[in-house]
Amino acid sequence: MSIGISQTLRLPEELKVEEVELPSDKTALIIVDMQNDFVRKEGKLCVPDAEKTIPAIKRVLEKARGSGVTVVYTQDWHGRDDPEFRIWGEHARAGTWGAEIVEELKPREDEYVVRKLRYDGFYGTSLDHILRLHNIENLVITGTVANICVLHTAGSAALRWYNVVVPVDCVSALNEFDYAAALRQITFLYRGKLTTSEKLRFK
Distance CA(162)–CA(159), nearest Å, equals 7
DSSP for residue 93: B
Burial of 147 (0-12, 13-18, 19+ CB in 10 A): buried
Q: Please, which pLDDT band fits residue 162 given cuts at 50, 70 and 90?
A: very high
CA-based end-to-end distance of the chain: 56
- Three-class SS state of 198: coil
What pLDDT shows up at residue 40? 98
Over the stretch 95-152, which tens digit does the pLDDT of each residue have?
999 999 999 999 999 999 999 999 999 999 999 999 999 999 999 999 999 999 999 9
Per-residue pLDDT, 95: 95
Where is average pLDDT lowest: 5-9, 53-57, 84-88, 134-138?
A: 5-9
For 22-202, which CATH superfamily applies?
A: Isochorismatase-like (3.40.50.850)
* Rounded CA separation 17/194 (Å): 5
Q: What is the mean pLDDT of residues 161-185?
A: 96
Query: d(Cα 203, Cα 199) in Å, to the nearest integer?
Result: 13
Could you tell me the pLDDT band of residue 15, with boundaries at 50, 70 and 90?
A: confident
Q: Average pLDDT, whole number, for the chain?
A: 93
Quick one: residue 200, left, alpha or beta (phi over 0 = left, psi -120 to 50 = alpha)?
beta
Mean pLDDT over 1-23 rounds to: 66
**What 3-state DSSP class applies to 124?**
coil
Is the whole-model pTM more than 0.85?
A: yes
For residue 10, the model assigns a pLDDT of: 52
